[in-house]
Amino acid sequence: SQQGEEDPQALSIQEGENATMNCSYKTSINNLQWYRQNSGRGLVHLILIRSNEREKHSGRLRVTLDTSKKSSSLLITASRAADTASYFCATDPRRGKLTFGTGTRLTIIP
């Protein structure tokens, strides 16, 4: 079963705008991770935030985590066409085994 639900399911924005995706999960976690998948290929790890962290940055990515609400958000600033992909949050209710959310399909319009 899915641990995480993401919204929106699909998002289209103009190049240069910011994109925000949200993830909600159900059980306690050790950490929450975000992955990107291009066109049904393998997933690429983007960023990991630990359960005792509230915000983390990596380049144009900003992730927040609210454990009281069991939710996280991924912000991509100054979007580029190459950011077009599906984005998944993943949690680890069991050590080493990630459970993935439903995903957000992001389309950047040039």
Minimal CA–CA distance to 100: which of 38, 50, 57, 43?
43
52 residue type, one letter: N
How would you class 103 by CB atoms within 10 Å of its CB: exposed for 0-12, middle for 13-18, buried for 19 or more?
buried
Minimal distance in Å, beta carbon 80 to other proteins? 22
Provide, rounded to whole angstroms, the least separation between the CB of residue 16 and other proteins: 28
Question: Binding string to other proteins for residues 61 to 100, with x set by CB under 8 A, is what?
Answer: ---------------------------x-x-x--xxxxxx
Binding mask 27-66 for other proteins (x = CB under 8 A): ---xx-x-x----xxxxxx--x-x----------------
Distance CA(34)–CA(91), nearest Å, equals 9
* Start-end of H helices in 1-110: none
Instruction: Return residues touching other proteins (CB under 8 A).
Output: 2, 30-31, 33, 35, 40-45, 48, 50, 88, 90, 92, 95-103
